[in-house]
Amino acid sequence: MAELFWTTVGAILTLSIYSFLYKDNPFYKFAEHLVVGVSAGYYLVIYYWNYIDPNVATPIFLLRVGDESIGFMSGQWWMAFIPGLLGILLYARFFPKIAWVGRWPLGIYVGGYAGLGISPVMQARVIRQLGANGLPLAGVDDPMAGMTNFALGIVIFAVTTYLFVVKRSIGAGNKIARVGAIVLAAVIGYAGYVVLTLLSNAGVVSMTNILLVIGLLGTLSYFFFSMRHRGILGGLARIGIIFLMVGFGASFGYTVMSRISLLIGRVGFLLHDWLHLVD
Amino acid sequence: MKLPGTACIAFLMLCACAANAQVDAVDVEEVLSMADARADSVPPAPPRDLSARDHIGDNDSGDRISVSWTLSPDDGGGEADVLGYLVMRSEAPDARGDTVGVVPAGTTRLVDDTAVPRTPYYYHVQAVDSVNLSEPATFGPVEGRSSFWQPRRTSVFVLMAVFFAMVITFTQLAQKGASLFIRRIPGLNAIEEAVGRATEMGRPVLYVPGIGEIDNIMTIASLTILSHVAKITARYETPLIVPTARAVVMSAAEEVVKEAYAEAGHPDAYNPDNIRYLSDAQFAFAAAVNGIMLREKPAANLYLGAFWAESLLLAETGFEAGAIQVAGTAMVSQLPFFVTACDFTLMGEELYAASAYLSREPKLMGSLKGSDWMKALSIALMAAGIIANIVGWTAFVAWFETQ
């Protein structure tokens, strides 16, 4: 009985949130305020028992770290007391006369985290990426060659179609000529795929590595702010933005797929767990 | 010291299972096959010249100690009945301690990689034959200490030093008044246009600094831009609503907006109720911000900071509400949603460049220029890596390996 009750509550709140798709309404407002209030209370308890109690309250007042007893004024005690004091000083902002005191712990917090983060971020996001991107452009076994060459063949077809049909207006007013132009573009695209495959198999080029290097150069050029995007830099920046947009499109499609799966989960909850309409 | 034969062999088997030594564990079958079945009442001679020292190696965190000794005279000579060596560790010279490892005969060293850094240890090594254990050779105290210099991370040190030198140089140039060029970033002009539009329509500006914590660099960049936006809204007397998902971020945002209003000469216009903490929970925050968008109807929505899955919820609702939207984040997974649903998007480093572009503060300008030239250096190093690969100079690429 209790399970049915709470399942029904969950279903009603789910439908209340979904009612937002129509327009703002009292059901959505109720569900919104409920989730904001409950989450605030929930996180207060979580933060106290997971952070304040083991790291500050227990070492200072119970003189214990985990199961181990620590002495008053011992190293562990001071290590809990000083950060705890800094945390309490943050509340000074509620008293106008001493509000300035609250800036000190905030400054220590921000500065400390920023400083601690410099070396690992530099190592993981810059140095190791530099090492990984000094790639050979030929003479290596490329396991992605098939997929890369096929994609490049599609790109050649698309670009050729654009040049023939749109730019040069081949077949304007003549459907047969236009279809012929598209077929010719497809043949050129396929020929490009075949040539690239032969070159890859012979180890003359590694198209995957070449594409990676070009994309990286272009993207770095796009984010170069010290010069205007003109000339070679402008061309590289344009290539970079194309690579960025292709990447964003792929990421968008992939994420939409995962969001649909979340929707499937919610609909499954409504139809299976609540209404028992499906197995 | 005398032990029953089967107990000795069983002891060796137990030690082999329990040991965590660098040297290969003893092959029990090999030990049994080597065991002399005849009763032996004479224990082997102990190993000689036992010493232990802090192990110095790549990425050494002080948890390794090298133990070395000279072979027992009965190992390969004398009685020639030594089967192996038992290495134990204690924190007092007289205590027996824990087994560190068991190594076969002929071995003269072992690396203990289970030491607690800066803890003094005593090591005891005993030669073992089929029946007996020798008198222990003891050495100590010895402590493991992390290496001051990690050779494998030399590249991190060098490149960080170069980067800091660039940033400091450009910061000093900016402080001396040198003109440092930053190209125009289209999305930034849109921020002022958005605030102007909100002022004309008499509706508020909604500024969402993301749901990252205050130590997130995107949040810090967002708060710098918030200062600039707050000065504009103060000048135009446009309400500015700042919902936050973290209590510390709310505190920082209050400070930033209050100071901006004071600098703009409108301290009375500052309304602390407009800087709101909503919820730490991601989707509770998104639901609450959606509610603000539909009820308070801001004319301009600015999403600048760290966002996760709630980005599309916010951007789509703002689009439906008819607001002009400018977004900026370095979260690659969320940029596609902002690009799709917002009028202008600051991508990746443009968010960080925005804070320097808008404020023109010397420190921000210096760091932006420094990172720009670091990018140029990265391109050069990458090109050098490609050439190194072609000519077979693998040491160059290996220099960037930090593990």
For A119, the domain range is 2-130
Report the C-alpha gap between B273 and B285 in whole angstroms. Answer: 17
Q: Which residues have a Cβ under 8 Å from the Cβ of B3 and sit 6 or more positions away?
A: B11, B131, B132, B133
What is the model's pLDDT at position A240?
A: 92
Subunit contact A110:B214, Cβ cutoff 8 A: yes
The answer to whether the Cβ–Cβ distance between B279 and A228 falls below 8 Å is: no
Residues A137 and A261 in one domain: yes
Q: Are residues B190 and B275 in the same domain?
A: yes
Is A27 a member of any domain?
yes
Q: Kindly report, residue by residue over B246-260, the tens digit of the pLDDT.
A: 988 998 899 899 999
The edge-to-edge listing of strands for the beta sheet with B344-347 is B275-277, B240-244, B205-210, B300-306, B324-329, B344-347
Average pLDDT over residues B145-169: 86
A155: which residues sit within 8 A by CB, 6+ positions away? A189
Q: Do the bridges between strand B137-142 and strand B121-128 make them parallel or antiparallel, or are there none, so unpaired?
A: antiparallel
B-chain residues near A38 (CB < 8 A): 284
Residue type, A163: L
Ranking A86-90, B31-35, B149-153 by mean pLDDT, the lowest is: B31-35
B-chain CB neighbours of A218 within 8 Å are: none
Q: What are phi and psi of B109, to 5 degrees?
A: -155, 160
A74 and A198 fall within a common domain? no
Rounded Cα gap, residues B226 and B232, in angstroms: 10
Give the integer Cα–Cα distance in Å for A106 and B214: 9
A76 and A163 inside one domain: no
Query: A104 touching B, CB under 8 A?
Result: no
pLDDT tens track for A158-192:
888 888 887 777 666 678 888 888 888 899 999 99
Of A119, A138, A251, the CB nearest to B333: A251
What pLDDT does residue A74 have?
77
For residue B5, pLDDT over 50 is answered with no
Question: β-strands B344-347, B324-329: how paired?
Answer: parallel
- A256 pLDDT band, cuts 50/70/90, is confident
Same domain, B126 and B204: no
pLDDT of B19 over the 60 cut? no
pLDDT value at B401 more than 80: no
Give just the sign of the alpha carbon dihedral B200, B201, B203, B205. negative
First-to-final CA distance of chain A: 20
Query: What is the predicted pLDDT for the residue at B180?
Result: 86
Q: Is residue B168 over pLDDT 60?
A: yes
Backbone angles phi, psi at A203, to 5 degrees: 75, 15
- Among A108, A130, A152, residue at a domain's last position: A130
Instruction: Check whether B6 has a pLDDT greater than 50.
Output: no
Q: What's the mean per-residue pLDDT of chain B?
A: 85
A118-137: pLDDT as tens digits: 888 888 888 888 878 777 77
Domain count, chain B: 2
Shared domain for B136 and B197, answered yes or no, is no
More confident residue, B337 or A67: B337
Complex ipTM value: 0.78
CA distance B294 to B255: 27
Both A167 and A256 in one domain: the answer is yes
Average pLDDT over residues B174-193: 86
**Contact between A127 and B155 using a beta-carbon 8 Å cutoff:** yes
Question: Could you tell me if A244 and A222 are in contact, meaning their C-beta atoms sit under 8 angstroms apart?
Answer: yes
Average pLDDT of chain A?
87
Yes or no, beta carbons of A43 and B381 under 8 Å apart: no
Confidence of residue B59 (pLDDT cuts 50, 70, 90): low
State how many domains chain A has. Answer: 2
pLDDT band at B58; cut points 50, 70, 90? low
Give the pLDDT score at B293.
94
Q: Which pLDDT does position B13 carry in this prediction? A: 47
Strand, helix or coil at A156? helix
Only one residue has tokens 């607001």, namely B323
Instruction: Print the domain residue range for B248.
Output: 180-360
Structure tokens, A18 = 């979904």
- Residue matched to tokens 């900071």: B305
Count CA atoms within 13 Å of residue A44 on its CB side: 6
The answer to whether residue B375 is domain-embedded is: no
Query: Which is more confidently placed, B17 or A90?
Result: A90
Which DSSP letter does residue B333 get?
T
Question: Does the pLDDT at position B47 exceed 70?
Answer: yes
- Place B25 in a pLDDT band, splitting at 50, 70 and 90: very low
- If you search the block for the tokens 């082999």, which residue do you land on? B16
Question: Based on the domain organization, do B136 and B251 belong to the same domain?
Answer: no
Q: What is the pLDDT of residues B301-335, one digit of tens each?
A: 999 999 999 999 999 999 999 999 999 999 988 99
Tokens of B192: 């002022």
Quickly state the pLDDT bin for B30 (edges 50, 70, 90). low
pLDDT of residue B403: 63
CA distance B378 to B349: 15
Phi, psi at A213, each rounded to 5°: -65, -45
Domain final residue pick, A112, A130, A148 = A130
Domain of residue B226, CATH code: 3.40.50
CA B44 to chain centre: 51
| Chain A residues lying within 8 Å of B398, measured CB to CB | 131
Name residues whose C-beta falls within 8 Å of residue A50's C-beta, 6 or more positions apart in sequence.
Answer: none
Banded pLDDT at B34 (limits 50, 70, 90): low
pLDDT for position B28: 47
CA A184 to chain centre: 40
Q: What percent of chain B has pLDDT over 90?
A: 53
B56 pLDDT tier (thresholds 50, 70, 90): confident
